[in-house]
Amino acid sequence: MRAPLMPTDDATRDEPLAEGARSDGLDVAAIEAKWRAAWDEARCFESRVEPGRPKYYVLEMFPYPSGRIHMGHVRNYAMGDVIARYKRARGFNVLHPMGWDAFGLPAENAAAERGIHPAAWTRDNIAAMQAQLKSMGLSLDWTREFATCEPEYYRHQQRLFLDMLAAGLVHRRASMVNWDPVDHTVLANEQVVDGKGWRSGAPVERRELLQWAFRISEMAEELLEAIDGLERWPDKVRAMQRNWIGRSAGASIRFELSAAAPDGAGEIEVYTTRPDTIFGASFIALSVDHPLIRSLEGGNPALAAFTAECRSAGTSEAAIEQGEKKGFATGLSVKHPFVPGLSLPVYAANFVLMEYGTGAIFGCPAHDQRDLDFARKHALPVLPVVLPEGADAASFAVGDEAYVGPGRLFRSDFLDGFEVETGKAEVIRRLEETGRGEGRVTYRLRDWGVSRQRYWGCPIPVVHCEECGAVPVPTSELPVTLPEDVTFDAPGNPLDRHPTWKHVPCPACGKPAVRETDTMDTFADSSWYFARFTAPDCAEPTDADAVDYWMNVDQYIGGVEHAILHLLYSRFWARAMKITGWLPAKAVEPFDALFTQGMVCHETYRAGGRWLAPEEIERGAGGAVTERATGAPVEVGPSVKMSKSKRNVVDPEAIIARYGADTARWFMLSDSPPDRDVEWTVSGVEGAYRFLRRIWRLTESAADTLPPAGAAPGALSDAAMELRRATHKAISEVTGDIESFSFNRAVARLYELANAISRAPSPEGDAGAGFALREALEAFARLAAPFVPHLSEEIWARLGCEGLLAETAWPEADATLLVRDRVVLPVQVNGKRRGEIEVSVDAPKDEIEALALADGAVLRALAGAVPKRIVVVPGRIVNVVV
RNA sequence: GCGGGCGUGGCGGAAUGGUAGACGCGGGGGUCUCAAACACCCCUUCCGCAAGGAGUGCCGGUUCGAGUCCGGCCGCCCGCACCA
């Protein structure tokens, strides 16, 4: 199907394109290197505080140094670069930095597997990825580059930690964790698969450990309310953050135990969002981790067996989803707060979470599905107390489905007749009156546990002393640096088993003590890097003048996978840094605008159950796809996110080597709206490459015949005017499209401008045509510069223009060229398009009506009918209504 | 279950309530060439020779006019979730 010289699906091979493809004299690799050197030389992209000059801070989420950039990076950074170059051309003092989110587990895994030190592995990766990013021609201020794994960065993070500790924003508390007994480490929920550690395969234990935690839950309400002000964030992300914080209003109710529990407890406090259904309560259920249950376990082996079983069950979603509602009757009972003589049995239940509310609920089976399932299983009463509109009070019953809708309360004593919402208020009022409970707001958001039993993270700057407790390391002794001499041949935390590092005198009393050997969650590193970029060499965490000038980030761009944790943590840190004096009040919401880009997808290929990479397949005549090496038929699967496991990845380095960075950038931005997924295709890349060469040929063929830049000669031909109008339309539209993040539309507008240039009259012997063509080509270069900066510079230079395009102002559209003096108006009859008329743009209505009614096609459609009304929308449309 | 989003040609996608399908990909035809490649030109929603008709997931509604707004369905994608 394809001729041999056409690059096909093996486009990821490194060979540059055949000579024939470059017969136009465009040596992509050479010009790209040349212009990058020119920008470096001119230091175009370095920025500094310039009081009084408007600034623009554009930031893309910084990468983890995995070793190679992937297409997701290309997309992310191409978008950010469009914004940065555009804003710079608009006269802003642009801050566009890059750095490395360099702590994390993969470095330790590499160390364990290959015997490389995590620091060496990370630094090598940074060097490799930095070279790759530089090859993209991004307008980054590399003088601000830093890696979070270097003491020059994390010393300040330790300082911030200590300030937060002093301000009460960090505390040490016991918390339940997933503990891998083989690897001797805490696992995140995502690292627990089917109840087993993802690496060790060992059954995970739930353990209580002392862990450092940021008190983010104290800020739940503020973090929630401030979401309303994030007007330039995607609704989706705002909704996700709201859900994550998970505010719910309800009541806590204290139920008096009929007989005191073994631990002396006299009551059980439950949390509910449906206090109005209190008269439908038929049982109490406690989490198996509830202190009362724990106190009962000792004297009740059957209960202990039950709780042990529940705790060993996986905490994964799937396990919970399939798990049935299990309960164990404790034999205890409580008194109903409003019904004298009524007692409710107390269960331990697997579906009650200790982490939410009070770890105890009252069950109202008629109006909660889980409670109903539980009640049916344990033969507990189901008492409807909410009567749906129109239902009969005497016969209304609940079967297998709980009634959770609105209605009026009944069989509820003093609540009878109340609506659900007013009933809630009334019962809360009564609870508060009798001292049996009160209204209470609960959040799903929990404190952020940051202790990690890892080596490759920021050391927590605390020393544990038997006498003094947890003692902060004095700021004068920062940084607490990671020891270099560590081994990864044994499970557990190398810091913990290091022979000397952790043994230090107590900073307070001087007696022998031990360092905290846990390191911080790497999310901490990325929670304030945006502030550090404003003054990366400052001796303190931030510089007041720099953060005052540069903050906030005007435009933040990254993947939606960070919609919750990273962004929420950053919002928390910004507030904490304001409290501790490291950020101004205006920066508590550090990201003014957020854009979340879609993923990069590619078709998938399988042969005989094996995944094949794109370069391993071949397309034959008739579209048949086969494996290149074996000729085996290949099954082509749907386009999904590029991933190593499905092998549907295309390496940006290979693409850049073959086509150049401009082609990669252009295609990445051309096809799909930036917030949607984009499918990477060879034909699309080919198309992008063809187009860039075409515009170069247009430049090349015209350049020597163009008049020098200057004022427009007196009269222009119609064709020249047509080109001028196309040029200024493109300027106007591309500008709007970049402002609205519609890069795919901007690209389409540039194709249109190129098409107009193709149709342009010859400049030879026609000064007006020459003027229009020069204007069009210069405009193309300037408008395309944010997308394809190297080629644009080359065109700019070829046209003999002064200076670097990277330092040239954005073009302005001439408004007089955007309006035409004559327009074609479609004419509808009853809303159906029947004909069109050409009128002068300011033609009076009656003239337009007369012309419309005289149009042949319109007359035919009217078929003699008399118009009842004629709607004329000036410059738009005419509609004849009969 | 809750929340968010999306349904438009063969494909990616355009379209302030105003000519649906811009622009690109793919496809077809042609020019150039000994022949290719490269490039350039024309065509390309569907039905129809044409005139014309139909058409933006489905059903209704508002409007002179609906892909767009409203109501109700259907389907797909993403996030969260024994959250009391």
d(CA A230, CA A240): 13
Taking the C1' atom of every nucleotide in all shown strands and the CA of A868, the nearest one is B64
Write out the two tokens for A120: 């060496």
Residue nearest to nucleotide B37 (CA to C1'): A5
Q: Strand pairing partners for A637?
A: A604
d(CA A333, CA A365): 17
DSSP A488-527: -SSSS-HHHH-SSTTEEE-TTT-SEEEE---EE-HHHHTT
What's the average pLDDT block by block, 10 residues per block, for chain A (882 residues)?
A: 30 44 73 97 97 96 94 95 97 98 92 92 97 97 98 98 96 84 74 68 80 92 92 89 90 90 84 94 92 88 87 50 75 92 92 87 91 89 89 86 87 92 92 93 88 93 95 95 91 90 95 95 94 97 97 94 89 96 97 93 87 85 77 85 88 94 95 90 91 94 88 85 94 95 95 93 87 95 97 96 96 91 87 86 88 86 84 89 86
Taking the C1' atom of every nucleotide in all shown strands and the CA of A825, the nearest one is B19
CA of A639 to C1' of B49 (A): 41
CA of A405 to C1' of B72 (A): 20
CA of A830 to C1' of B65 (A): 8
CA of A224 to C1' of B5 (A): 22
* Coil/strand/helix, residue A640: strand
A503: phi then psi, degrees, rounded to nearest 5? -90, 110
CA of A658 to C1' of B36 (A): 23
Taking the C1' atom of every nucleotide in all shown strands and the CA of A869, the nearest one is B64
Residue nearest to nucleotide B12 (CA to C1'): A671
Taking the C1' atom of every nucleotide in all shown strands and the CA of A21, the nearest one is B38
- Decide if A222 contacts A459 (C-beta within 8 A): no
Run of H or E including A792: helix A789-798
Among candidates A834, A823, A877, which has minimal Cα distance to A859? A834
- Decide if A721 contacts A773 (C-beta within 8 A): no
Helices then strands, each counted (H, E), chain A: 26, 35
Taking the C1' atom of every nucleotide in all shown strands and the CA of A370, the nearest one is B82
CA of A634 to C1' of B10 (A): 21
Residue nearest to nucleotide B11 (CA to C1'): A679
CA of A820 to C1' of B64 (A): 26
DSSP A546-561: HHHHH-SBSEEEEEGG
Strand B nucleotides with an atom less than 7 Å from a protein beta carbon: 2-5, 12-16, 18-20, 22-27, 36-41, 52, 54, 64-66, 78-84
- Decide if A872 contacts A845 (C-beta within 8 A): yes
Taking the C1' atom of every nucleotide in all shown strands and the CA of A598, the nearest one is B78
Taking the C1' atom of every nucleotide in all shown strands and the CA of A640, the nearest one is B77
A150: phi then psi, degrees, rounded to nearest 5? -90, 140
CA of A757 to C1' of B42 (A): 19
Rounding to the nearest 10 degrees, give the CA dihedral for residues A836, A842, A847, A852.
10
CA of A224 to C1' of B79 (A): 18
ipTM over 0.85: yes
**What is the per-residue pLDDT for A544?**
97
Residue nearest to nucleotide B20 (CA to C1'): A833
d(CA A167, CA A74): 41
CA of A676 to C1' of B7 (A): 14
- Decide if A244 contacts A376 (C-beta within 8 A): no
- Decide if A349 contacts A356 (C-beta within 8 A): no
Residue nearest to nucleotide B40 (CA to C1'): A758
d(CA A242, CA A564): 9
β-strands A93-95, A55-60 pairing: parallel
d(CA A532, CA A547): 9
Taking the C1' atom of every nucleotide in all shown strands and the CA of A247, the nearest one is B83
- Could you tell me the pTM of the whole model? 0.92
Taking the C1' atom of every nucleotide in all shown strands and the CA of A873, the nearest one is B18
* Coil/strand/helix, residue A450: coil
Strands (E), A642-790: 678-679
Write out the two tokens for A714: 């007196």
d(CA A799, CA A241): 51
Task: Find the distance separating the first CA and the last CA of chain A, reported in whole Å.
Answer: 55
User: Angle A444-A447-A452 (CA atoms, 0-180°, nearest 5)?
Assistant: 130
Amino acid present at A185:
T
Half-sphere exposure of A583 (CA within 13 A, CB side): 29
Taking the C1' atom of every nucleotide in all shown strands and the CA of A749, the nearest one is B23
A340: cis peptide before it, omega within 30°?
no
d(CA A475, CA A507): 11
d(CA A782, CA A89): 9
Q: How many residues does chain A have?
A: 882
Q: How far is Cα of residue A665 from the mean position of the Cα atoms in its chain?
A: 21
Residue nearest to nucleotide B82 (CA to C1'): A351
A29: phi then psi, degrees, rounded to nearest 5? -60, -40
CA of A691 to C1' of B44 (A): 20
CA of A399 to C1' of B2 (A): 23
**What is the per-residue pLDDT for A133?**
97
Within A173-234, where are the H helices? Answer: 220-225
CA of A252 to C1' of B77 (A): 39
